[in-house]
Amino acid sequence: MAAGIDDISIYIPRLFMDAGDFAEARGLDPQKLVKGLGVSKMAIVDSNQDPACLAANACLKIMQKNKLSPEQIGRLYVATESSFDESKAMNSYVIGMLEQVYGAGSFQHCGGIECKFACVSGSYALYDNTNWIRAGESEEKYALVVVSDIAKYDLGSSGEMTQGGGAVAMLLNDSPRLLEFDPKVTSTSIKNEYDFYRPFGKETPIVHGQYSNLLYLIQVKNALNDYKRKALKTGLIDMKEGQSMLDHIDYFNMHLPYSNMGKKALAYLVRHELRNTPKWKEVIAEVGMEEPVPKDPRGTIESIIADSEFMTKDSEFTKRFAKTNTYQEIYENKVASSLIASKSIGNLYTASLYLGFRSCLEYEFQKGVNLEGKRFGFASYGSGSSAMVFSGVIKPEHLSIVKEMNLETEIGERQKLSLEDYEELHENKLEPNQSLLSARKEFVLEHVENISSDKRGERRYAFIE
Ligand code: COA
């Protein structure tokens, strides 16, 4: 049975920190953010927003847009790494908010859980719900998968320039208008790692940034190898002599902790894919140097990072490779449009891959490209660490949805934060009733009970007309 994404909606907080102001405050060259990382604005949540209300707002948008009633939703899953409760699942808060609009008990039939595995959990949630539909268990109801996160790092840390926040809701069914997932090819890779983690009670993560970058690349490559094996085995792809996956995947959507990570990941995967093809000789001539090899090619990630001679040469090779016509053509045609939204919004953890997908649809449509029948490959990565690679094909009906997409209108009028306001929000110095913006037709957090009692941690939300 077919299954895939029928529609997609976003909710992005309207406050933002400008990259130039941020760089000035931290004594950084603004070009490090804008050119080096691809970050020009970071969406920041107000004092009356948490990841549950971002998720509920994205769900409400998709339900209202499609005129859906709660009876039509069979499952509601929330994937997040910004969880604020060790036990109560975030989807219960989301359902509580939606019932303020649709009526108490209106979602009673609707199953679901909160999923966690850093930034990759949304992809696992999509996969599980796709299989619920494929198994014929949905009784023609939709699954609603919402990925919602607030990417927040310590003040003054190197991760602080890669923050952001927002939610993406995806409606899944057996006759999707946007994208139908390819069956039997979804592939994963997993390993116990400490590249990025957030121990109990800590609001911000402990991050080994460069290590997480490298792990991302290696884990995605491993999952891609398995995807390729399955795609050949199932006959999804017929690889002719001298071809690579690049000949069979029209668009790549990458996990985007910052926009330029998409470029880096593409460069790594393209090298991996072309290395054993006849084209590689031409590529090496274009690059003007041989591809470096680590002293111990079978070593651990730690030993490779410690091999400073290799790391320097490899970085030089990657920079030259990224300037070749071969790479530039692949980048422009297969990835560039998916990176546009991330530049002005920032990191959305679980949601960043799907914001990228939406960005690709909107900006390729604006370029006049006909996406019907195009295969999208998804490279999802979550620290800790696991990668998932999967694919799907764009349906003819996508046009009716994509032509209405407009990122700026959907976010609404944005307000630039001063450094003082940003730092106050970051350090949680403002109460929910001291929000900087007035809410309009959205859910907000009203109160978190913090007096030690049997109600400690309870959250109260309201829908503001
Ligand atoms: N002008 C232009 N580019 C500049 C620059 C300047 N003045 N200064 C630095 N750059 C470039 C660097 O060359 C580098 O580009 P490259 O990656 O192509 O080599 C880029 O900007 C980033 O600089 P770098 O020195 O690597 O940054 P950093 O080590 O201070 O921090 C992260 C970068 C991503 C590691 C950090 O922000 C972080 O830890 N983020 C959170 C974790 C994360 O996002 N992990 C990703 C995997 S999930």
Radius of gyration of the chain (CA): 22
β-pairing verdict for 442-448 and 459-464? antiparallel
How far apart, in Å, are the Cα atoms of 243 and each of 66, 322, 389, 456?
Answer: 41, 21, 19, 59
Using CA atoms, how far apart are residues 147 and 130, in angstroms rounded to an integer? Answer: 15
pLDDT at 4: 98
The answer as to CATH 3.30.300.30 being correct for domain 4-464 is no
The residue whose CB lies within 8 Å of the most ligand 1 atoms, and thus the one to mutate among 81, 121, 162, is 162
Decide: 37 in ligand 1 pocket, CB within 6 A. Answer: yes
Ligand 1: centre distance to CA 92 (Å): 37
How far apart, in Å, are the Cα atoms of 342 and each of 64, 115, 208, 268?
Answer: 25, 23, 22, 20
Decide: 257 in ligand 1 pocket, CB within 6 A. Answer: yes
pLDDT at 297: 84
Q: Token pair for residue 110?
A: 């609707």
Provide the 10 A C-beta neighbour count for residue 126: 30
pLDDT at 207: 97
Amino acid at 246: L
pLDDT at 80: 98
Using CA atoms, how far apart are residues 375 and 221, in angstroms rounded to an integer? Answer: 18
Decide: 36 in ligand 1 pocket, CB within 6 A. Answer: yes
Q: Splitting the chain (465 residues) into consecutive groups of 10 residues, what average pLDDT does each group show?
A: 97 98 98 98 98 98 98 98 97 98 98 98 98 97 98 98 98 98 98 97 95 95 97 96 94 98 96 94 96 90 89 95 96 98 98 98 98 98 98 98 97 98 98 97 96 90 97
Decide: 432 in ligand 1 pocket, CB within 6 A. Answer: no
pLDDT at 200: 96
pTM of the full structure? 0.97
Ligand 1: centre distance to CA 127 (Å): 31
The residue whose CB lies within 8 Å of the most ligand 1 atoms, and thus the one to mutate among 33, 35, 37, 161, is 37
Start-to-end C-alpha separation, the chain: 40
Amino acid at 163: Q
Q: Token pair for residue 360?
A: 């690709």
Q: Are 15 and 436 contacting, i.e. CB atoms less than 8 angstroms apart?
A: yes
β-pairing verdict for 179-181 and 4-11? antiparallel
The dihedrals phi and psi of 391, each to the nearest 5 degrees, come to: -150, 170
β-pairing verdict for 41-44 and 73-79? unpaired
Three-class secondary structure of residue 358 per DSSP: helix
pLDDT at 302: 84
pLDDT at 87: 97
Contacts of 106 (CB under 8 A, 6+ apart): 69, 70, 71, 98, 99
Decide: 456 in ligand 1 pocket, CB within 6 A. Answer: no
Decide: 159 in ligand 1 pocket, CB within 6 A. Answer: yes
pLDDT at 303: 87
Decide: 312 in ligand 1 pocket, CB within 6 A. Answer: no
